[in-house]
Every structure is written in C-alpha cells, then in structure tokens.
Chain A
Amino acid sequence: MKHLIIIGNGIAGITTARHVRQQDSRVGITVISAESEHFYSRTALMYIYMGHMTYAHTKPYEDGFWAKNRIDLLQGYVEQVDTSTKRIRLADGKWLDYDVLVVATGSVSTTFDWPGLTASGVQGLYGLPDLERMEQFTTGIDRAVVVGGGLIGVELAEMLRSRHIAVTMLVRDPHYWSSTLPAEEGKLIGRHLLRHGIDLRLETELKEILAWRGPAGPRSADASGRVRAVVTKAGEEIPCQFVGLGIGVTPNVAFLKNSGIELGKGVLVNEYFETNVADVYAIGDCNEFRQPIVGTDGALRKPIEQIWYTSRMHGETLARTICGSRTAYRPGVFFNSAKFFDIEYQTYGTLNAQLTDDEQTYYWEHPAGEQCLRINYRKTDQSVVGIHAFGLRLRQAVCEHWIQQRTPVENVLSQFRQADFNPEFSEFYTDQLAGHTPAGSPNRRKGWFRRLFSTTH
C-alpha cells in the first residue's frame, strides 16, 4: 500500500491515521475533511459557545503534530468516489488516487418534515457552522425552544441557559430520555432541568414552526423569515426566537449514493469494517454493521453506534487491518458517559430503560435526589449485566471487570468502594450503598450506614 486516504478528520479518521503511522512509517497518509483544517473535539462544541474554551482549546493536538508525523491534511469536500479507478473527486474538481480508502464522515443532524422547518433560527448542533449560526441567531434573544429529550437536546438547553435565555424543552416521552433511562433516572434529570429553569414539557410533540412573514410583519424587514413560535401537537403556540433541534443524528453518507459502495442507513460493513468494495472501509458514526456485533461480555451492540468512544475503537482496530493484520472488531463491555448540566452520568454494560424478563434491578438514590446508582443483574445467577450512575464517578476498569466476569450483585455491592472514582474527601456514599443491599441479603453495615447517613443532614 502506498497511499491511504481518509475522508473525515473526526475521532474515527484521526485515530486511524495516528495508529497507522505508529505501525507503518512509510505509507502516505492524507486526511481530507470539509469542516475544519485540524482535528477538533466535537464533544466540546458546547463549551465554546458557553465561553469555557475557545476553538483553539478543543484541538487535541498542536498544529505542528501532523507535519511531524507526516499526516497530510487537506481541507476540502469529497463529492465523488470512483471505486473502479480508485480515485476521489474534491469539490474543486481535483482528483486524488488512493490505494486504500477509509470513509469516516460522521453524521448529520436528523430532521423531520415539520412545516416551517426552513425558518431561520431553526437548527441542529453538529459542527462548527452550526455553532456559528447559533451564535448569530441567539445574540440578544430571550426565548428559545429545544426539541428532543436526548443528549444533544440537553446540551443545547445548557448552552442557551448559560446566556440567560429562557428555554422550553419539548420531549415526546413521559420522562426525559426514556429510550435509554428508566423512569427514576429520567425523573431525576427532569427535576434537575427544572431547577435550572428549563420549562420542561413532557409528552409534548412539535407540530409546526411559525416564522415572521414578509416586511408587513410586526417586526422590521430583516426579521422576515425568522422563527417566531412553535406549535405543539396539542395546539399550543409557544413564542420563541430560536429553535434547537436535538432529535438525533443520521450517518453522513449521501455523497456516496452512486459510488457503488453499498449503503443502508450508513455504509454497510462487516466486522472488519470492510465494505462491499475492496480496499474501501468505513468507520465511526457513518457505518452500519450488516451483522450485529457482539461484545466480549456477550452483549449485542447496536448496528449504528454514534458515540465518540465507539468511533475511536473503530479507528484503533481498523489501523491494524490496514497495516496487515486483519483484525475483527470486538468491543469489550459497553460504556458511555454524558453530563446533564451539573450531573455527570456514566454507564457500563447493558442497562436498558426496561428490564428484560431475566433481569432484576437494584437502585439507590441519595435523599437530595441528585445522585443515584442502578445495577441490573440476572435473576438466574445474580450476575451483574449493567451499572450506571448519576452524580457519582465510577472506575471503568472495575465496572468492566465485574460485568465481564459476571460478578454477583452482592459481591459488587459489598466491594463497591473499589469502583469509587470520586475526588478525595467526597461523601462516603459507598457505605450508604452497602446499607441498601438488595432484599434478602443480610444488612451487615447498618451501623456505618446510619452514622454516615446522619452526617449528610
């Protein structure tokens, strides 16, 4: 192989480039990306808007890093992939030859065909252009609506609140993020959102977006076309000057339509990230597995997993294949994390919103209602399948070990201190946990529990 071209300089593409370079000092590597010259952390977009950081801070490597490692960067948009001649065409008409092509083009924000969607001031949040538009459309406004009760929705809400903009959040489900969270956790986050001044509207769906029309409107001419309100399915009109859409993302593969590369929702690949065309691979947000991947803990993974960590692991694994040792993707115990305003969230293993018939659950919540822990375990052998925590930090290595080794819940609870990753001097919540061992097991540490419990009030 002489020339590797990677389309997309997100975490998937960049991880591939770095790992290939570590293993092969000769191959030419070109990373082509449209959005930015350098790799930046998409997950940090919100912090730029909120003023915690500037764009420069979100670049994980210094600009000189790429030349030093002989990774060529090219800013441009790939319009066409010609797999028969192994070439790609950039928007400026230039053709480039590849020996191996990696598609790592990420996602685009999902939209629906809501009437009025094209009003200005209505947008999703995926990349730098979105950030720029959001900056422009939210300057000087005081009311916004966020549609969608997922991770990006809550980030949008936090961003807007940081500028003291009133936010109404429309969530279709009976509690926040009910596709993933059990009711208690959904309610816990719901309460937290309310405390942060979010007007949270559960079981509310968007029907239509209304814009100012023509210069005859009550506003000046330049307000024309700008959003003025949303209408819910129940018929309520909520006035606003900005609408943030956080209803999910879709693989960014439209430009491959006529390339001969087989597409489903994303680029279809096998467990080696191979597409139907030789020497073309797809990784990260934009791929879709033909056959579901099974993690080493035996858990089934989603065919499309649009997560930072997943994209990185794809890159780590694919680099091996590209460098000659064909390696199948075998993720370990699933993990993910997020932050909802002030509440951090970590999840390990399989923890679904609904218990399966084979599962039982253990749930602990701090009386203040902002921290909780859930452990799901199998009825049959009591072994742990999933752990997640809100407002507490857990040690990944320990949680992974427990789940991978099918440790019984009782052992997990009695050793829970091992998983404690909270800063020194934090409250000893782990002792409270031990006091809450699941029904049936002896309550050994009640004394401790009582004592520590009373100090929290």
Chain B
Amino acid sequence: MQTTGQRIGLTAFLIGFALFIATLPLSRYVLTDKVLSQTINKEQLAAVRMATASMQGKVYGSSVGFVGDFRAAIARLNEGYKQRNETSRFIHDYAFPVTKAASTGFFSDNSQLFFWLILLLCVGGALLYILPAQRALPGIKNNGIYQDPATNRGWIGVVVCGFLIGFYVLLYFFPEYMTNWVLLFDPLSQLLNGGPASQWFVYGTLYTLVILVMGVRMMVKYRHSRYQQLRTLSVMFFQVVFAFLIPELLAFFHQPAQDLKNMWPLDYSFYFDYRIDEKIKAGTFGIFLLVWGTALWMLGVPILTYFYGKRWYCSWVCGCGGLAETLGDPYRQLSDKRLVVWKLERIMVHSVLVFAVVMTALVLYTYWSGQPSLFGFLDSYGIRSVYGSAIGAIFAGVLGTGFYPVFGSRVWCRFGCPLAAYLGLVQRFKSRFRITTNGGQCISCGNCSTYCEMGIDVRWYAQRGQDIVRSSCVGCGICSAVCPRGVLNLETDSVTTRNTNPGPILLGNNSFRIQP
C-alpha cells in the first residue's frame, strides 16, 4: 500500500516527467546570421546564408517547420552542386546544431530554471517514492508483480515502452527535434567537458541518473542480500566514474574520450580508423588507451571469466548491464523462457559476434591496406555503417532498452551483444563459475526461472539436481535470492567439479544408489 509520502513522490515525478516532455515544443526558432556563423563551417557559410535567406528573421513556432524549411534549402543548394558536378562542395546535415542554436523564447532564456525544476521533481519524487519501501521487513518482495499493469505487460508497461522507443528513435535518428532537451544540459556539459551538450551528452547524463535512482531502489529492495547490494553499488560506481565522469574529463583535457571499462566487440567502433588515428595523435596516453582496450578483451575477459564467470563484467561493471539491473529490475520476469527462444538466442547472439569480428577485420584491413573493399564486394565502409545502425542503434537501443516493459530487461544482452557471446563461450567451456543446486531440495516452484532476466529455465536444472552452467547466465544472483528453499548458490570451484551430468535420482533417495 502506498503511503502519502509515496503518493506525493509519484505525483512529483509525474509532473517533472510531463514538464520534461513539455519542454520539447516550448521554443520558437529564428534563423539569424549569428546562428549560422556559430554553427556552419567557414567555407560553406556564405552559400548556406544565401540559400537560407528566405528563412532569416522568420519566427517558426515549431522545430518541425523550421527543420523542414532548412533541410529544403540545403537540399536545393546540394541539388545545384550536383548538377554542376561539384559534389565536393556538398553540405552535410547541419539541422541539429542549427536548430539548437536557433531556439529562442521563454524556454531557452530560462532553460536552467527548467533544468533544476525537472531534476528536482523527477529525482526527488522518485526517491520519495522509493525510500519508504525501507519500512517493510527485508526479504523478497515480489507481491503483486503479475497483478500490476506496470509490470505484467499491462497498459502502463505499454505506455512506458512507447515512450522509451520514441526516445531512442529521436535520439538516434531525429536528434534535431530534441534540441530543447540538449539545451537543458548545456551548462552541465560546459562544466564537465568545456563544450556544449550534444544529444549523446544528454543520453549519457540521463542514463547515469537513471542508474543512480533505480540503483537506490535496488539497494532498498534487496537490502537483505549483501551480494545484490555490492553488485548494485558496483554498477552505479562504474557508470558514474568510468562511463560518465572520466570520458568527460578526458574531453576537458583534450584527450580522446574513452569509457575505460567498455571494450570491443561491444564497443564495436574501437578499431575504426578515426578512433585509432585519434589515439595515435594523442601520443603516449592514446597508445595506452589502445593497449588497455585491447588487453581488456584479449586478457581480461578470459582470465577474469575463468575465475569469476561472466558476471564480473555483465552484472558488476557493464553499462548496458547496469541499466538492466537497475531500471530493468521491475521487468526482469518478462523474459521469454521457452526452448525455441533459447535456440533463437544462440543463433542470433553468435551471429552478431561473427558479424562484429568480420566487420572489425575488414575495417582493419582497409586501415592498413587502404583498400575500401576485400574481394571486390566486401565493402568495409558499407558493412560498418550497416552494423552501426542495425546493431548499434536499433538493436542495442530501440529494441534492447525500448522493449524492457514487454520482453524483459536483457533483450540486448541475450540476443544481440557480441561481447556477451564471447564472455559466454569462456564461461560455458572454461570457467570455475557455476550455480550449484542444493541436492534434492528443489520444489519446482518456478520462482527462479520466472525471475531470471536471461530467460534461463533455471528450474529445469535445479529440479534434476544439476548445476547451472549456461553461457548466457550473467550471475545476477536473483534466482538464488528468490528461491524460497535456498536451492541455488553462485559458486566458484575447480572447473571439473561442475555437476552437469546428474544421476537418475536426486540426493536423499538411497533406494538404488548405495551398493552394499
């Protein structure tokens, strides 16, 4: 039952959230000379100024009209270049920076007021809602999850899903329509990295905030479990320090910005030419980053996964995992446990791994040989842009996170993450990690399978007394936490002691095992 405080918190959060959405159409847009000279590169400025002369001084009520006119003007200009065969003068898409700079009116004058108001309402409201759960006695509290439309694929889940998908589509494909959100974050960006905010800065900041707030929720919910608490603190720490602060500070000191815990092949562009060049240009530090990033997947993954299982990364360090374990926790039960889905998962995730390896090999081939394609048809630029939009944006973002409230919190990690596939291979074949089944204690209740975010049918193993050795297990430990009979335990021991081939009967029945 909600307390008054919780209701106030929820209301505050919803108001803050509504305000955040409402800021999107809140500006007017005027293209001035100042806007152009701030955003367009010098050689092209004169041409763009001329092409957009009819827009100048005109007040647009919405970004849609503004972007439309601006794009049309540039397109006409480019059309002219094309006809005159001056393709080198083509003007790339300036819609995002121009729209952002052209924003005027009450909102842009007071964006900091909005920023603090929204932050206070959303974060404060969410905490007010989350913290009173402390009053309940510690223990597994999954009451009502399948009766609540927010967590049982009901209407609230669908609405949240719609919002998340919309957000990702805007972010990846139409950032010029979310410039007002970017304006909110400009001063923070200035403070951290010395430059204006981009849509990626907005995303990174929101991502971090969400992990922090929902991490607090996680800490409260599982306050009876040290494992869960430490794990949550760990993902919060790595998100704030490694994913957020360090890259911003590196940018501030004009070093190549890099998330030191992210690694290839999840960070699929790590070996792209421009990123290698950027690092080589940065000298010793850049080389260090290159070596560090390579050592991480070449040595770090096999060694740490051998000792601890892939959890050391997936549910303790990784940013995608961090979001899944915090924001995604209310949705973990929605993952599909069917055998056919497991089959699909194995095909998909390993295909992505192969795709990532091949793409990287081609990119490196191009980098060293200067040839854009191999065998005349494997075009490294084409392939990497397909990967970037199909896997990097649509899979990881739109599908992976957008569908949390429908398909559960680890869609990306299960079906799409090439690093997870790689870690999984090590875990499956050469790791001390397993989930031990406690003899014959399982009552087949199904809590473990239900709450496994990776869609592993944990019960299948537990009820036959078999240890769980699965490449996809991220070691979140929730199956062990929700088991009402203490059947499951995440353990490490010598690889050969993993019991993956149990006998015909379970512990406790001596009718035909003991030979007198």
Whole-angstrom distance from the CB of B447 to the nearest CB of chain A? 6
Neighbouring B residues of A426 by C-beta, 8 Å? 226-227
A397 touches B507 (CB 8 A): yes
B279 on the interface (CB 8 Å rule)? no
User: A364 at the A/B interface (Cβ < 8 Å)?
Assistant: no
Q: Which residues in B have their C-beta under 8 angstroms from that of A421?
A: 436, 438, 486, 489
**Chain A residue contacts of B338, Cβ below 8 A:** 62
Choose one: B477, B484, B506; the contact of A423 (CB below 8 Å): B477
Q: Does B444 contact A (CB under 8 A)?
A: yes
B439 contact set on A, CB distance < 8 A: 335, 395-397, 400
Complex contacts, B484 vs chain A, CB 8 Å: 339, 344
B507 touches A317 (CB 8 A): no
Complexed CA–CA distance, A320 and B503 (Å): 14
> Could you tell me if B444 and A332 are in contact, using CB atoms closer than 8 angstroms?
no
**Which A residues are in CB contact (< 8 Å) with B505?**
313, 316-317
Determine whether A11 belongs to the interface, using a CB cutoff of 8 Å to chain B. Answer: yes
What chain A residues lie within 8 Å of B444 (beta carbons)? 11, 41, 43-44, 60, 308
Question: A344–B485 contact, CB under 8 A?
Answer: yes
Which residues of B in the span 470-516 have a Cβ within 8 Å of any Cβ on A? 477, 480-482, 484-486, 489-491, 504-512, 514
State whether the Cβ of B25 lies closer than 8 Å to any Cβ in chain A.
no
| CA gap between A333 and B508 in the complex, in Å | 6
Decide if B137 is an interface residue (CB 8 Å cutoff): yes
A195-B137, A342-B137, A395-B438 known; A57 and B506 CB under 8 Å?
no
Interface-lining segment among A46-54, A75-83, A181-189: A46-54
Chain A contributes a number of interface residues (CB within 8 A of B) equal to 59
- Is B514 a contact partner of A396 (Cβ separation < 8 A)? no
Please indicate which of the listed interface residues B443, B450, B480, B505 has the most CB atoms of chain A within 10 Å of its own CB: B443
Q: Are A51 and B147 in contact (CB under 8 A)?
A: yes
Chain B residues with CB under 8 A of A400: 439, 507-508
A309 contacts chain B at the CB level, 8 A cutoff: yes
A19 at the interface (CB under 8 A from B): yes
Q: Does A313 lie within 8 Å of B446, measured CB to CB?
A: no
Which one of B139, B477, B486 lies within 8 Å of A342 (CB-CB)? B139
Whether the Cβ atoms of B227 and A331 lie closer than 8 Å is no
**A164-B1, A342-B139, A423-B481 known; A396 vs B508 contact (CB < 8 Å):** yes
Say whether B509 contacts A313, CB under 8 Å.
yes
B356 to chain A, nearest CB (A): 32
Contact of B490 among A19, A331, A394, A424 (CB under 8 A): A424
B449 CB-CB contact with A under 8 Å: yes
How close is A45's CB to chain B, nearest CB, in angstroms? 9
The complex places the Cα of A296 from the Cα of B511 at a distance, in Å, of 9
Q: For chain B residues 239-294, which have a beta carbon within 8 Å of chain A?
A: none
Highest count of chain B CB atoms <10 Å: which of A60, A328, A346, A427? A60
Q: A43-B445, A396-B438 are in contact. Are A329 and B450 (CB under 8 A)?
A: no
For residue A363, CB closer than 8 A to chain B, the reply is no
B486 with A344: CB separation less than 8 A = yes
Q: How far is the CA of A339 from the CA of B482 in the complex (A)?
A: 11
Provide 23 A-B residue pairs closer than 8 Å at the C-beta atoms, listed in order of the A residue.
A44-B443, A50-B142, A51-B143, A51-B146, A52-B143, A58-B446, A60-B444, A62-B338, A162-B144, A313-B509, A313-B511, A316-B504, A316-B506, A317-B505, A317-B509, A332-B507, A332-B508, A346-B441, A395-B438, A396-B441, A421-B438, A423-B227, A423-B480
Residues of B near any A CB (own CB < 8 A): 1, 137-140, 142-148, 224-227, 230, 338-339, 436, 438-441, 443-447, 449-450, 459-460, 463, 477, 480-482, 484-486, 489-491, 504-512, 514
Closest 7 CB pairs of A and B: A342-B139, A396-B439, A393-B486, A425-B226, A44-B445, A313-B509, A332-B510
